[in-house]
């Protein structure tokens, strides 16, 4: 036997062994799912003291709960069950369950078949399942999904009924907190649309700026922090900004007239914050100033 022939023979043997092991794994998982469905029907709390079969499996197999929940959800579609009153619940895809326990179907293939059958009218489920399983003998799950789409186009040409439920309100939460050090912390959660728009805005404002002073050496967090500050300035300068008591949004800054003129010293920002007198002077160039006399001399 030549070396090439020997290598080919070894490759075939290894491939056959992989096929046998994969079939065993698939069969065992399908059997495991059937057992877990039976435990659910008998009462997992009464039998084992767990709130759900997924929790039981999580403990016994040291598997993450999402993985065990997917296993049980798939098994419910392949195996018959019972309602709370004891009435039977037929399996959505009983023939698929038989093929799965024989180790002939991958999980993606099972998911494709059950997804199609969930949309097929009940009177056509048996024939549709038979066609899908016959094609699955020689095709992959993507090809079976394409066949399922053609079956649905024929049996359900108008597609699923429209969802009349009201869309959920988008998630938008923002937390802005001032620490004793004078640093502000910002965190929040936003829906995808708002997050995408905010990301695009900050991306544009956070571009590196190379000018007369040389390259921009700011880190990425520093650039985005400056971009957020610029975005706040843009919003405050917008003519469409809502008014407060007939005026634009305002912040109280207390600084002595001498420090404001010279730019030397400190200014009080709000109730407890501080900024340099020079910064206050810069902001005063684009603000309405309301002079107020403070201190003991005002009372004399």
Sequential pLDDT tens for the chain (300 residues) = 566 666 688 899 999 999 999 999 999 999 999 999 999 988 898 999 998 999 999 999 999 999 999 999 999 999 998 877 778 889 999 999 999 999 999 999 999 999 999 999 999 999 999 999 999 999 999 999 999 999 999 998 876 666 666 667 777 888 888 888 888 888 888 888 888 889 999 999 988 887 777 788 889 899 999 999 999 888 888 777 776 555 555 566 777 777 766 767 777 765 556 667 666 666 566 555 555 555 555 444
pLDDT in the model for residue 300: 41
* Residue 164 is assigned to a structural domain of this protein: no
CA 271/CA 283 separation, integer angstroms: 18
Residue 28 sits in the same domain as residue 65: yes
Which residues are bridge partners to 244 per DSSP? Answer: 247
Which pLDDT belongs to residue 21? Answer: 97
Tokens of 237: 């300068």
Residues 6 or more apart from 281 whose CB is under 8 A from it?
260, 263
Residue 299, pLDDT score: 43
Same domain assignment for residues 89 and 1: yes
Residues 118 and 85 in one domain: no
Cα(242)–Cα(249) distance, rounded to whole angstroms?
A: 8
Q: Tell me how far apart the alpha carbons of residues 225 and 206 are, in angstroms, rounded to a whole number.
A: 8
What pLDDT score does 239 carry?
Answer: 77
Q: Are residues 26 and 85 in the same domain?
A: yes
How many structural domains comprise the chain?
4
Residue from 126, 143, 130 nearest 99 by CA: 130
Residue 112: closest CA among 148, 73, 152: 148
**C-alpha–C-alpha distance, residues 60 and 48, integer Å:** 11
The side-by-side arrangement of strands in the sheet containing 266-269 is 253-254, 266-269, 273-276
Same domain, 47 and 110: no
* Residue 131: per-residue pLDDT: 96
Domain contains 53: yes
Specify the DSSP class assigned to residue 273: E
Same domain, 68 and 138: no
271 and 232 in a common domain: no
Burial of 249 (0-12, 13-18, 19+ CB in 10 A): exposed
In a domain, 44, yes or no: yes
- Residue 33 has what pLDDT? 96
Same domain, residue pair 42 and 65:
yes
Distances (CA, A) of 32 to 52, 69, 76, 114: 15, 13, 12, 18
Among 104, 131, 150, which residue terminates a domain?
Answer: 104
**Same domain as 93, residue 46:** yes
Q: Measure the CA–CA gap between 21 and 28, rounded to whole angstroms.
A: 10
Structure confidence at residue 298 (pLDDT): 44
Q: Is residue 56 part of a domain?
A: yes
> Is 187 contained in some domain?
yes
Residue 65 CB coordination number (10 Å)? 13
Residue 220 resides in a domain: no
CA 16, distance to chain mean position in Å, is 40
Domain that holds residue 127: 106-159
Q: Are 156 and 121 in contact (CB under 8 A)?
A: yes
232 and 193 belong to one structural domain: yes
Same domain (yes/no): 240, 272:
no
Q: Does any domain span residue 216?
A: no
98 and 114 part of one domain: no
Last residue of a domain, one of 138, 159, 180: 159
| Cβ 189 vs Cβ 172: under 8 Å | yes
Q: How far apart are CA 39 and CA 46, in angstroms?
A: 10
What pLDDT sits at residue 190? 86
CA-to-CA distance for 23 and 16, rounded, in angstroms? 11
Element at 28 (helix H, strand E): helix 3-42
> How far is C-alpha 205 from the geometric centre of its chain's CA atoms?
26
Place of tokens 């079939």: 23
Task: Provide the pLDDT for residue 289.
Answer: 58
Task: State both tokens at 267.
Answer: 């200014």
Tokens 């024939």, located at residue: 127
The 10 Å CB-count burial string (b at 16+, else e) for 211-231 is: eeeeeeeeeeeebbeebbeeb
């Amino acid at each position: 036997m030549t070396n090439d022939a020997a290598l080919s023979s070894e490759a075939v043997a290894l491939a056959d062994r992989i096929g046998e092991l994969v079939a065993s794994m698939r069969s065992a998982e399908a059997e495991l799912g059937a057992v877990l469905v039976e435990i659910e029907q008998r009462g997992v709390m009464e039998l084992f003291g767990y709130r759900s079969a997924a929790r039981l499996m999580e403990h016994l197999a040291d598997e993450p709960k999402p993985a065990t929940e997917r296993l049980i959800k798939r098994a419910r579609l392949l195996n018959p069950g019972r309602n709370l009153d004891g009435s039977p619940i037929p399996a959505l895809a009983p023939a698929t369950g038989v093929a799965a326990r024989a180790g002939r179907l991958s999980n993606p293939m099972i998911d494709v078949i059950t997804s199609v059958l969930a949309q097929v009218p009940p009177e056509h489920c048996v024939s549709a399942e038979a066609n899908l399983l016959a094609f699955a003998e020689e095709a992959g799950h993507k090809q079976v999904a394409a066949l399922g789409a053609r079956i649905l186009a024929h049996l359900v040409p108008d597609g699923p009924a429209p969802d009349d439920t009201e869309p959920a309100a988008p998630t938008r939460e923002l937390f802005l907190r001032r620490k004793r050090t004078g640093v502000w912390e910002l965190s929040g959660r936003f829906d995808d649309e708002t997050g995408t728009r905010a990301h695009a805005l900050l991306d544009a404002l956070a571009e590196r700026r190379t000018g007369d002073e040389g390259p921009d050496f700011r880190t990425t967090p520093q650039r985005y922090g400056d971009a957020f500050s610029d975005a706040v300035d843009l919003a405050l300068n917008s003519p469409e900004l809502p008014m407060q008591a007939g005026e634009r949004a305002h912040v109280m800054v207390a600084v002595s007239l001498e420090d404001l003129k010279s730019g030397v010293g400190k200014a009080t920002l709000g109730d407890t914050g501080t900024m340099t007198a020079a910064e206050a002077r810069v902001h005063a160039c684009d603000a309405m100033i309301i002079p107020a006399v403070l201190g003991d001399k005002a009372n004399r």
